[in-house]
């Protein structure tokens, strides 16, 4: 069981892999989950658009796409993060890039833990869960 971080067509972001993996495990434990195989791919907007079109039939850019392979209480998945969109969002929301990146990193984990963000209520719950997780970092 591992948490891996890779890049495609972008420079590796300034995150500490081991610390980030330990943080992810701590957040998962808060939801009574264990981490299985979780793979992050940091990419550019073109790659995330390609993934969005190919697998989700969505024709738009996004900051994150999470493919959930969770079984029982062991969360697993492939998580694609567009560093281009994370940067755009950090500028739009007047947020620090690194903070926005960690928010997106944990957003995918929260999805794997069972949180959704389709409705307005779910979005509020997700935002609160992100804030709580960021405080644990």
pTM over 0.75: yes
Q: Would you give the DSSP letter of residue 52?
A: H
Q: Model confidence over 32-58: pLDDT tens digits?
A: 999 999 999 999 999 999 999 999 999
* Position 95 confidence tier, pLDDT thresholds 50, 70, 90: very high
Share of residues in the chain with pLDDT > 90 (%): 99
Q: Tell me the mean pLDDT in the region 69-95.
A: 97
For residue 2, is pLDDT > 90? yes
Q: Please give the full DSSP string across 24-90, using - where no structure is assigned.
A: HHHHHHHTT-EEEEEEEEEE-HHHHHHHHHHHH---S--SEEEEE--BTTEEEEEEEEEHHHHHHHH
Per-residue model confidence (pLDDT) at position 116? 96
Q: Model confidence over 99-127: pLDDT tens digits?
A: 999 999 999 999 999 999 999 999 999 99
Per-residue model confidence (pLDDT) at position 1? 84
Q: Which residues face 66 on adjacent strands?
A: 79
Q: Tell me the mean pLDDT in the region 70-88.
A: 98
Is residue 81 within 8 Å of 104, Cβ to Cβ? yes
């Amino acid at each position: 069981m591992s948490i891996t971080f890779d890049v495609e067509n972008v420079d590796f972001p300034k995150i500490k892999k081991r610390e980030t993996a330990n943080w992810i495990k701590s957040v998962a434990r808060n939801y009574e989950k264990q981490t299985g195989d979780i793979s992050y791919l940091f990419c550019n907007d073109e790659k995330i658009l390609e993934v969005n079109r190919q697998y989700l039939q969505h024709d738009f850019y996004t900051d994150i796409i999470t493919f959930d392979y969770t079984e029982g209480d062991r969360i697993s998945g492939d998580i694609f993060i567009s560093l281009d969109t994370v940067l755009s969002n950090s500028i739009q929301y007047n947020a620090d890039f690194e903070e926005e990146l960690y928010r997106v990193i944990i957003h995918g984990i929260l999805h794997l833990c069972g949180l959704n963000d389709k409705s307005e209520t779910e979005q509020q719950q997700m935002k609160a869960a992100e804030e709580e997780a960021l405080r644990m970092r």
